[in-house]
Amino acid sequence: MGINNRELSKAAFERACKVIPGGVNSPVRALKSVGTTPLFVKDAKGAYFNDIDGNKFIDFCMSWGVFILGHNNSEVSNAAIKAVLNGSSYGIPCEAETLLAEKVREAFPSMERLRFVNSGTEATMSAIRVARGYTGRDILVKFEGNYHGHADHLLVSAGSGVANISNASSAGVPSDFVKHTAVLPYNDTEALKKYFDENGDKVAALIIEPVACNMGVVPPSEEFLKLTREVTQKHGAILIFDEVITGFRLAYGGAQQRFDIKPDMTTVGKIVGGGYPAAAFGGRADIMKCLAPEGPVYQAGTLSGNPVAMAAGLATLNILSNKKVYENLEKRSDNFIERLSKIIAGKGIQLNRCGTMFTLFFNENPVRNFQDTKRSNQEKFAKYFRNMLSRGIYVSPSQFEGNFISVCHTDDVLEKVLKAIEESI
C-alpha cells in the first residue's frame, strides 16, 4: 500500500483541465491547497480505494463523510442495482420516497414533514426559503465558518472549500443577495444574545451546523448551542439545524439527538442517500405546510426522490437503525482518539473531535471558532497531507474539513493509520 507512481492520474488531470474548469467538478478535489494534484479513483470498497495507477489507499475522507458503512457496501449496492433495473428516474411518485421519508422521520422526530432533494445545497436553500415564507421576515442569521452550500445568500464568511478564498466568499454574488444575511462568530454567546436583543423580531431563521464540520470539526459549547434554541423561540424565528454532515453520523438521530435539542427545521444529506445524490429538508408540520402544492413557497426538482437514491438510502438506514452500529463505532473511535492524542502531545497540534469525526489543526492554541481555524499553519498541514498520501492514507485535503471513521475502519486499519500519522508528523 502506498504510492508507486501517479503518472496516469497526472495525465488524467491534464486531460480533464481541457474540458472541466480546474480539472475538477468540486474545487477541493484539485488538491491545490495542499500542493499536489488529484488522484483519479478506479474503484473503492470498504475503507479503501484504488487509483488508476494501481495505488491503494486507506480513505479517511469517505466522500466527505458519506460512507459511514464504508465504500460499496454490498446491501446498499444491491438495493441500488435492483432499483435501477426498474428505471433510474420517473418524475412521478414512487413508494420508495414515502418509505425513506418514514425512516428519516423515525430517526428525526422533529422532521414531522419532509421533502427530498438532490444535494445539501438544495436542502438548506429550500429550508431557508420556507422559513422566510412562514415568518414573513427576511433576515437570516448564520455563523462564521459554517458552510451551508453554495447558494448566493449563504456564501458569506463560509467554511469548507470557500474558506481558502479571500474573505471566505465568492465572486459573482451581488451585494444585494447577501444584505439580509447576518453573520455572527461561532461559539460566541454574548454576540448571539446581543444580536437577537437588538434584531430578533426581524429574523426569519437562524441556521447552524450544530457541530461545525466545514472549518474543521469544531464542537459547540453547551451554553452556545442551547442559546440558539432559546433566542429563536423567544423571538419567533425558525431554528434550522444543518445536519447534512452530522445527520446519521453523530447518532442515528444526528446532533439533535446527541445534544437533546429540538430544532424547528432540519436538513440532512450525505448518508441519507447511501452514497447517491440525495438530501432532505423538513420540520414542524405547520411550517412545511407553506410548501407548494399545499402553500405559496415554491420548490421543485425533476430528480428529487429518484428511486435509485431512495433504495440506497433505505438500505443504509435499515442497517444504521441497529443501535449496536453506533455503540461499536463510538467505542472504536474513542480508542483511536485516545492513542492519537498521545502521538500529537507536545507537538503544537490541536485535536478536535466529536463522535466519529475529527480534525488535526496545526495550531498552538485551542480551536473554537473560524478565526482560530484560520490561524492554523496551512503549510504544515499541506506537508502532513502529502506525507500521509505517500504512506497510502488519504485524509481530507483541507484543515477546514473533517476526517471520518466508518464501520470498515477496523482496529487493524486504524493501527496502520496511527503509525502513518506518527511517521508523518
Give residue 83's identity as a one-letter amino acid code: A
Residue 2 lies in a domain: no
Catalytic, out of 51, 53, 264, 270: 270
| 183 and 288 belong to one structural domain | yes
| 28 and 151 belong to one structural domain | no
| 271 and 150 belong to one structural domain | yes
* CATH code for the domain in which residue 369 is found: 3.90.1150.10
Residue 336 lies in a domain: yes
Catalytic, out of 48, 147, 186, 276: 147
Instruction: Over range 347-369, report the average pLDDT.
Output: 96
Cell numbers 492513542 correspond to: 339
| 32 and 101 belong to one structural domain | no
Instruction: Over range 210-239, report the average pLDDT.
Output: 97
Instruction: Over range 77-90, report the average pLDDT.
Output: 97
Q: What is the pLDDT of residue 163?
A: 45
What would the pLDDT profile of 41-63 be if each residue is shown by its tens digit? 999 999 999 999 999 999 999 99
Residue 394 lies in a domain: yes
| Residues 283/113, Cβ–Cβ less than 8 Å | yes
Residue 67 lies in a domain: no
Cross-strand bridge partners of residue 143: 184
What would the pLDDT profile of 255-276 be if each residue is shown by its tens digit? 999 999 999 999 999 999 999 9
**CA–CA separation, 170 vs 297, rounded Å?**
27
CB-based burial, 252-267: b 16+ in 10 Å, e otherwise: bbbbbbbbebebbbbb
| 405 and 266 belong to one structural domain | no
| 173 and 285 belong to one structural domain | yes
Q: Is 167 a residue whose pLDDT tops 50?
A: no
What would the pLDDT profile of 69-80 be if each residue is shown by its tens digit? 999 999 999 999
Band the pLDDT of 153: cuts 50, 70, 90: low
Q: Is 227 a residue whose pLDDT tops 50?
A: yes
Grid cell at residue 302:
425533476
Residue 418 lies in a domain: yes
Instruction: Over range 337-351, report the average pLDDT.
Output: 97
Residue 1 lies in a domain: no
Q: How far is CA 42 from CA 66, 158, 238, 290, in A?
A: 18, 32, 44, 44
What percent of the chain stands above pLDDT 70? Answer: 95
CB-based burial, 181-207: b 16+ in 10 Å, e otherwise: bbbbbbbbeeebeebbeeebeebbbbb
Q: Please, what sign has the CA dihedral across residues 328, 330, 335, 337? A: positive
> Is 242 labeled as catalytic in the residue annotation?
yes
What percent of the chain stands above pLDDT 90? Answer: 90
In 279-415 the beta strands, taken as DSSP E runs, fall at 279-283, 350-354, 357-361, 393-394, 403-404
**CA–CA separation, 319 vs 339, rounded Å?**
29
Domain range enclosing 382: 7-60+323-424
| 119 and 194 belong to one structural domain | yes
Q: What is the pLDDT of residue 96?
A: 97
What would the pLDDT profile of 103-127 be if each residue is shown by its tens digit? 999 999 999 999 999 999 999 999 9
Q: What is the pLDDT of residue 2?
A: 62
| Residues 367/341, Cβ–Cβ less than 8 Å | no
| 170 and 88 belong to one structural domain | yes
Q: Tell me which residue of 279, 251, 268 sits closest to 357, measured CA to CA.
A: 251
| 159 and 188 belong to one structural domain | yes
> Is 147 labeled as catalytic in the residue annotation?
yes
Select from 320, 354, 369 the last residue of a domain.
Answer: 320
Q: What is the pLDDT of residue 3?
A: 75
Side-chain-side CA neighbours of 192 within 13 Å: the count stands at 24
Q: What is the pLDDT of residue 346?
A: 95
| 112 and 202 belong to one structural domain | yes
**CA–CA separation, 394 vs 51, rounded Å?**
11
**CA–CA separation, 155 vs 163, rounded Å?**
10
Cross-strand bridge partners of residue 48: 45, 58
* CATH code for the domain in which residue 106 is found: 3.40.640.10
Select from 305, 320, 335 the last residue of a domain.
Answer: 320
Band the pLDDT of 150: cuts 50, 70, 90: confident
Task: Give the chain's domain count.
Answer: 2
Residue 65 lies in a domain: no
| 190 and 177 belong to one structural domain | yes
Instruction: Over range 182-196, report the average pLDDT.
Output: 97
What is the Cα gyration radius of the chain? Answer: 21
**CA–CA separation, 47 vs 64, rounded Å?**
13
Q: What is the pLDDT of residue 71?
A: 98
| 390 and 369 belong to one structural domain | yes
Q: What is the pLDDT of residue 164?
A: 45
| Residues 282/120, Cβ–Cβ less than 8 Å | no
Residue 381 lies in a domain: yes
| Residues 133/295, Cβ–Cβ less than 8 Å | yes
Band the pLDDT of 89: cuts 50, 70, 90: very high
In sequence order, what DSSP letters do the residues of 35-48 get, joined into one string?
A: TS----EEEEEBTE
> Is 82 labeled as catalytic in the residue annotation?
no
Beta strand pairing call for 181-184 and 203-208: unpaired
What would the pLDDT profile of 9-51 be if each residue is shown by its tens digit? 999 999 999 999 999 999 899 999 999 999 999 999 999 999 9
In sequence order, what DSSP letters do the residues of 254-302 get, joined into one string?
A: HHHHHHT---SEEEE-GGGGTTSS-EEEEE-HHHHTTBTTTSSB----T
Grid cell at residue 361:
489543526
Instruction: Over range 392-402, report the average pLDDT.
Output: 94
Select from 287, 320, 353 the last residue of a domain.
Answer: 320
Band the pLDDT of 162: cuts 50, 70, 90: very low
Provide the total of helices (H) and of strands (E) in the chain, helices listed first: 15, 14
Angle, helices 411-424/378-390, rounded to nearest 10 degrees:
130
Catalytic, out of 51, 59, 188, 242: 242
